[in-house]
Every structure is written in structure tokens, then in C-alpha cells.
Amino acid sequence: MATAPLRIALLWHQHQPYYKIQDEFVLPWVRLHGVKDYADLALIAREYPTVKQSMNVVPSLLMQLNDYVHHEARDAVQRLSLRPATALAVEEKRAILDMFFLCNVERMITPYRRYQDLYQRARNPENAIRQFSAADWRDLQVWYNLTWVGPVSRQRPELRRLFEKGESFSEADKTMLLRIHDEILSDVLPVLRSLSESGQFELSVSPLFHPILPLLCDSEVARVAMPDMTLPAIRFAHPEDALAQIEQGLEYFQGCFGHRPRGMWPSEGSVSDDALALMAGAGLDWAATDEQILQRSLGAAYRPTDKYFPQRFHTDQGAISMFFRDHALSDAIGFEYASWEPVAAAHDFCGRLRRIRETIVSHHGPEALQRAVVPVILDGENCWEYYQDNGAPFLRALFQTLATDPDFTTMTFGEVAAEDSPDEDATGHRHIFPGSWINANFKIWIGHSEDNLAWRLLAIARRTLDVIADELPLETYREALQCLMIAEGSDWYWWFGDEHESETDYVFDQLFRWYIEQFYRICDLEPPELVHPPIKQKDFRSNIQAQTKLIEPRIDGRRSRASEWEGAGRINLHASTGTMHQAVDDSRVLWIGAGERHIYLRIDFAQGFADGEKLEINFLDHDLVPGIIVTRSGIEWAAGEKAPPGTLKTAVAECAELALPLDCILPIAEIDARRDRISLRMQFRFFAAGGQLAYPAVGSFAVLLLVPHLQIS
């Protein structure tokens, strides 16, 4: 008798927070990911109709897609794109330079000669503002919107013509491109609906504005995983809000697709007993989280293969089937395979599946394959820009194998959950460990002083609403509550704290506080003063410590000589700079300091430099000193750059160290002779092994260094 195939359940999570302030979306990610990812992933999947998949769509994303398609909503980048290049004001030009290179440089800029040229020339923004012609601005407007079109959608003849043209675009070209963006967006929901109706796709949902449900139910639940965590002074406990986020999310989904979903990916895989009870009570058949949650839930009884068997959890509002994502497999797609040759990556993934199949048979017998399923759950939008051709070759290679190899079969989560009999109430679990898919805790969203301040503002506003609820007309109450429900979303807290950094942190800070302030305005109340100052204080730049004394370290690449760097400046590069998070310790610290004749730099990597990784150090606003490239094999001036006078001393071993002659730095430094200090404007970019920009440019920032008085007198 032939052994049964291994069952695989794929789930792609598509999510965007709510970006709207008044009549404009302040960030463009719904539109840009719409034309690059939401349509293309579904269209590629449709080429392999026997490969069943699940797609989780967040209602806050659906709302914005509908606003673009049906209500002619616009975003800030769209507005800047539509401005005639000859009419751009200086501030609009600055905004374009800030926003129109926010993408993966290696995959989305470098392959296109004209876009790459504009990118290089824009490294000095003030020069670009003075020197760019109208044709330069217009080409930049077109290229940023063009590079975001996915590989399937860009096969349209009009778009192929733009790629072939490459430069000297017209205003008509630009208008046509943005019209096609609208057309692609208008296809997203119909394509998803047709795949759902065909049975190939199961569509699942998250709560309305993507909140962390357990923290809404009771913020104190965060202490279960981290007992010593410092929590907000005001406890947040509004399970009624968590229920509203679930119920309204289900209702909005039904309005878009004509049926209620059977399953839910709770925001960030966050679960607790209270949250599961609300999901079960809302009639959901299944939910999913990470394998670490199952491990913490079962304790010593946990076996590594347990995650391949759906677990039934019983709550006081009913039972619900739980799936636990294979962490390594899911992260391999999200973080690892982007740098691989696509077919080799798909082959490796399927090889891992075969080994899982062998393990299940070895530990549980061949009949276990009838019940086992491998859940692969990951972000369905952000990882693809790091892949060749936005992931299309990898996805096609993977889907082709899953469609044709008899060792595998694909199922939706709902199909697997349907095999659980609701009458089997004697079996299953009563408690689930409270946590998220990241380290089985809630540290990303609560506990840091910035997170706690945001929760305090939210709790005060929520308490105010309870006090005045009876005085408000029903529509006013609903409008005010929706502002707070938006502020309950997970994304604002993702960017608060020191775990994540981005070029647009200030926008997320602004959005959160705007909705808190709007709540008070709607209720005809004066917002408290706490709402006005930015919450996000500790950004990348505040991780910079100034030099306190001169140093003279030996350049040998050894960390053992730490005392030689005592008094040097220090820059922490540990924060993730993206919307994706990988739970690994790969902190990066850069030490910088001046001595009698040199500027010294030391770069520490927790994991060391892998093959193909590189760190690029640039001195901003000056062409006198070229960029410096640090790799595993050594340190050198950027390719093609002419080295300045003097010798660059370098060593790479346990860490990377270099000494740069002070004479070549002083001409580009801001000098304060009274305090024996210089200020350097610098930029750091870290490129992962596949060439993707893992640490994007963060803008200019100053590093304060001591120098001998004689050098600057």
C-alpha cells in the first residue's frame, strides 16, 4: 500500500494599517503593494489550479482598496506623482526625494539604468533640488511608480513600452501609468473572489484594524510570558473592543466577498484564553498562531511533531481548531530564499517537506499522514521585493512541484478543520499560552516606555468615552469609538520602542496621535497636552553616543582589545528597519572615534559577516571622500571610487576595524574649535547576502568626535 502524501496548508497574510488622515492616505503602501503583490500573487496561484491555498486579508486593507477603487481616494505619493514636473515646488521636490526611493535598491532600482542614475545623483538631496531638470523629476515620478508594478501585471503592452522607453517620459506616460495602477487595484478583490468561489483559495480574516486581541482583553496578560515587564500605569481591559474588532471584521469581509470566513489569523498570531473564547463565540472554526505558542502551552509534554497536528481548544464559548505555523519553513520563504536561485530555493523547500514527512512516519506511523498537516504561514507582501522578479520564479517553481509531485498534496485550513468533529468535546485543550508569533510574548507591542505612553493615551481616551457615552448621540459615539479602534491597531506599537526603525516612523507616530486627537474633537473635548508631542523619541539617531576621549586602537580585527575603544562613540544598528521581523540575534554595533592622526571605526556583528553580506558607509553631502565597503573578505573603498590621500588601514576577523586618515576627513567635517569637536554626516546601509538592502538609508545624521586641538586650530 502506497504511503499517503504529506498535506501542506499555505497561508499568505496580506495586511496594511489604516493610513487615512482626512481625505488622503499619508503613505502609499496599499496602492503600491496592490499593484505589485496582491494581484500578482493571486494571478500566479491561478496558473496552478490544483494547488490549494489560503489568503488572509485584513479588513483595514480591504477598506482602503475599496476607497481607491470606488471612492477615488488618493495617497500622498500619488499626489506628488501627478504634479506636472514643471510645477513642482521646492518642498514637493524634497518630499519626492524622501519618498521615491523607498524600495529595495538592488531589485527595484539598480536594474534600471535611468532610475539608478537618478538614485545616485539624489544622494545629495540639496544638489538634486538645484540640478534636476523637469525631465529628471518626471522620470523619477514615473520610475518609482513603474518599478512597483508586479511581474505579471507589467506584461501589459503599455507598461512594457514604458520599460523599453526607460527615460524621457511624458506627462501622458505618467498619467497612463497611474491609470493602470487604478485598473490593477480594481482587479484585486474580483480575482480573490473568483479563486474563493472556485474552491482553490480559502479567504480568512483578521480583526478589523489589526489589534493585538489579548492586550485589548487585558494588558496584564503580557506578564505571563514576561513577569518583570514594566506595563502602562493604566491597565487596559476592554474585551468588548476585542469582540467588536472581530465581529466588525467578519462583517466587513462578508460585505466584500459575500460569505463569512471560517478562519482567522489573529493579528501577529496573538492569542490568549480570552481571545480564543471571543473567536470561538463569533463562530470561527479555526485560528492559527506560531509553534512556539504550542510549545509553551504543552510544556514538558511538547514534541516537535505536535505542530503538524491541529489541536482543538475548548473555551467557555465553544471549541476552535488551532494550527501552529512551522517557524523554520515559514521564515525560510520570508527571509532566507530571497538570495537563492529560485528553482534551487523551491527544491530546498520541498526537500525540507520530504524530511518532515519521513519524521512524521517515523514517529507516528504512515497512518498519521491522514491527519497531519504542515502549516506554512507568512507575510504575503513584504518579502517579495527582495526576490528575483518579485518572487514569481520561486513561486512558480514551488507551485509546480506541489501540483505534480505525488509526495505532496495541498489543503486549505478550513478543509482540515472540517475533519475535527465538534462533538469530540472530551478531547482537546482548555488553555493556550498567551503570546504572539514573535518569541511567544508581546514585547514588540507593550513594555517599552514609548509603547506604554501610547497605551496610556489610548486608555485615558477609552475611559473618557465610557464616562461620556450616555451623553453622545449614537452616531457620534460610533464615530468616536472607531477612532479609538483604529488607534488600537498593532502597527503603531510595532514602530514605537526600540525593536523596529524606518524612514517613516514619524508618520506612524503622527497617525496614532491624530486618531486619538480626532476622538476628542468628535466628542467636542479638548485633547490633553500629552497627545501633541511625538511619542517616537528613540529613533536611529538617538542610538548614537558621542566620543568622550581620544583613542588609539590597534587595527587587528580583534574584540579582545575592548579597552582600546573606551571613550569612542557608539552607534547601535540593532533595530529591524522593516515591516518584517525575524526572531534572531544579529545586532550590529559601530564604534567610531578620533585619535591624533586617524578616524577609527569598528563594526561588531553578533553573527559575524556571512558570505555576500556587506556594509556600506557613506559620508553625506560630499564627494571628497568615497564610500567604504565592509565585507567578510575585507574593507575597501567603494568600487570605482578614487581613494583620497593617505592609507586606509583595515582588518576583518572577530570584527571589522579600519583607520581613516584624519587629513581626508577634516575637509568634510563641521568643526567646532572651541570644543575640539568635529561633526560628520554619515549614512550606513547593510546589504544581505542576496544583495537586498536589509538596513535602508536612514537619512543624514551627525556623529560627534573629539580631535586634538592642534589639528583644527
- Residue 574, pLDDT > 60, answer no
Q: Residue 64 — very low, low, confident or very high, per pLDDT cuts 50/70/90? A: very high
Residue 699 pLDDT: 38
- Residue 701, pLDDT > 60, answer no
Residue 344 pLDDT: 97
Q: Residue 578 — very low, low, confident or very high, per pLDDT cuts 50/70/90? A: low
The answer to whether the beta carbons of residues 431 and 29 sit under 8 Å apart is no
In single-letter form, the type of residue at position 423 comes to D
Mean pLDDT of 599-621: 73
Q: Residue 580 — very low, low, confident or very high, per pLDDT cuts 50/70/90? A: low
How many other C-beta atoms lie within 10 A of the C-beta of residue 625?
19
Q: Which residue has the cell 507575510?
A: 379
Give dist(CA 363, CA 55) in Å, integer: 31
Q: Please name every residue paired with 84 in a beta bridge, in sequence order, or none if there are none.
A: none
Q: Average pLDDT over the chain, rounded to whole?
A: 88
Q: Which residue has the cell 478589523?
A: 208
Tell me if 531 is assigned to some domain: yes
Q: What is the DSSP letter of 500?
A: B
- 456 is in which domain, residue-wise? 449-538
**What percent of the chain has a predicted confidence (pLDDT) above 70?**
86
- Residue 712, pLDDT > 50, answer no
Give dist(CA 624, CA 164) in Å, integer: 36
- Residue 435, pLDDT > 70, answer yes
Give dist(CA 118, CA 147) in Å, integer: 14
Residue 616 pLDDT: 77
558 and 597 together in one domain: yes
Q: Residue 591 — very low, low, confident or very high, per pLDDT cuts 50/70/90? A: confident
Residue 643 pLDDT: 55
Range name among 23-27, 296-300, 348-352, 691-695 with the lowest pLDDT average: 691-695
517 and 661 together in one domain: no
Shortest CA distance to 54 belongs to which of 85, 87, 11, 100? 11
557 and 689 together in one domain: yes
Q: Residue 713 — very low, low, confident or very high, per pLDDT cuts 50/70/90? A: very low
Residue 423 pLDDT: 44
Q: Residue 231 — very low, low, confident or very high, per pLDDT cuts 50/70/90? A: very high
CA distances to 57, 479, 597, 599 from 622, in Å:
46, 51, 21, 17
Q: Among residues 521, 538, 555, which one ends one of the domains? A: 538
Q: Residue 124 — very low, low, confident or very high, per pLDDT cuts 50/70/90? A: confident
552 and 698 together in one domain: yes
Query: Where do the H-state alpha helices sit in 496-654?
Result: 505-522
CA distances to 86, 127, 462, 466 from 82, in Å:
11, 23, 40, 44
534 and 554 together in one domain: no
The answer to whether the beta carbons of residues 257 and 396 sit under 8 Å apart is no
Mean pLDDT of 76-92: 97
466 and 595 together in one domain: no
- Residue 556, pLDDT > 50, answer yes
pLDDT digits 0-9 by tens, 342-359:
999 999 999 999 999 999
Q: Which three cell numbers stand for residue 672?
A: 567646532
Tell me if 480 is assigned to some domain: yes
Tell me if 569 is assigned to some domain: yes
Q: Residue 238 — very low, low, confident or very high, per pLDDT cuts 50/70/90? A: very high
Q: Which residue has the cell 501552529?
A: 324
646 and 604 together in one domain: yes
Helix axes 273-281, 239-257, angle to 10 degrees: 40
Give dist(CA 182, CA 565) in Å, integer: 55
Question: Residue 323 — φ and ψ, nearest 5°?
Answer: -110, 150
Mean pLDDT of 475-480: 98
Mean pLDDT of 220-226: 97
Residue 242 pLDDT: 98
In single-letter form, the type of residue at position 394 comes to F
Shortest CA distance to 603 belongs to which of 493, 697, 713, 684? 684
- Residue 637, pLDDT > 80, answer no
Tell me if 41 is assigned to some domain: no
DSSP string across 581-622 = -------EEEEEEE-SSEEEEEEEETT-PPTT-EEEEEETT-
CATH value at residue 597:
2.60.40.1190
Q: Among residues 538, 569, 600, which one ends one of the domains? A: 538
Q: CB-based contacts of 76: which residues, under 8 Å, 6+ apart? A: 24, 25, 26, 27, 28, 95, 99
Helix axes 157-165, 134-147, angle to 10 degrees: 130
Q: Which three cell numbers stand for residue 100?
A: 521615491
Give dist(CA 139, CA 90) in Å, integer: 17
Half-sphere exposure of 383 toward its Cβ, with a 13 Å CA cutoff? 25
Q: What is the DSSP letter of 673?
A: G
- Residue 540, pLDDT > 60, answer no
- Residue 201, pLDDT > 70, answer yes
697 and 549 together in one domain: yes
Tell me if 348 is assigned to some domain: no
Mean pLDDT of 228-247: 96
The answer to whether the beta carbons of residues 181 and 73 sit under 8 Å apart is no
Domain count, the chain: 2
Q: Which three cell numbers stand for residue 229?
A: 515587564
695 and 577 together in one domain: yes
Q: CB-based contacts of 562: which residues, under 8 Å, 6+ apart? A: none
Residue 543 pLDDT: 57
Q: Please name every residue paired with 703 in a beta bridge, in sequence order, or none if there are none.
A: 680
Give dist(CA 433, CA 320) in Å, integer: 15
Q: What is the dihedral of CA 657, 661, 662, 666, to 10 degrees?
A: -110
Mean pLDDT of 489-512: 88
- Residue 711, pLDDT > 90, answer no
Give dist(CA 434, CA 266) in Å, integer: 12
- Residue 520, pLDDT > 90, answer yes
493 and 623 together in one domain: no
Give dist(CA 437, CA 293) in Å, integer: 7
- Residue 233, pLDDT > 60, answer yes
Tell me if 504 is assigned to some domain: yes
Shortest CA distance to 192 belongs to which of 205, 183, 201? 201
Q: Among residues 497, 517, 538, which one ends one of the domains? A: 538
Shortest CA distance to 580 belongs to which of 259, 331, 217? 331
**What percent of the chain has a predicted confidence (pLDDT) above 90?**
69
- Tell how far CA 269 is from the center of its chain: 15
- Residue 617, pLDDT > 70, answer yes
Residue 476 pLDDT: 98
Q: Which three cell numbers stand for residue 713?
A: 586650530
Give dist(CA 16, CA 29) in Å, integer: 7
Q: Which residue has the cell 476607497?
A: 67
Note if the pTM is more than 0.85.
no
Tell me if 115 is assigned to some domain: no
Give dist(CA 34, CA 37) in Å, integer: 6
pLDDT digits 0-9 by tens, 166-199:
999 999 999 999 999 999 999 999 999 999 999 9
- Residue 576, pLDDT > 90, answer no
Q: Which three cell numbers stand for residue 38?
A: 496582491
- Residue 427, pLDDT > 80, answer no
Q: Residue 674 — very low, low, confident or very high, per pLDDT cuts 50/70/90? A: low
Question: Residue 491 — φ and ψ, nearest 5°?
Answer: -65, -35
Q: CB-based contacts of 214: which residues, under 8 Å, 6+ apart? A: 221, 222, 270, 271, 272, 274, 275, 434, 442
Tell me if 218 is assigned to some domain: no
630 and 691 together in one domain: yes
Q: What is the DSSP letter of 536?
A: -
pLDDT digits 0-9 by tens, 245-256:
999 999 999 999
Radius of gyration of the chain (CA): 27
562 and 495 together in one domain: no
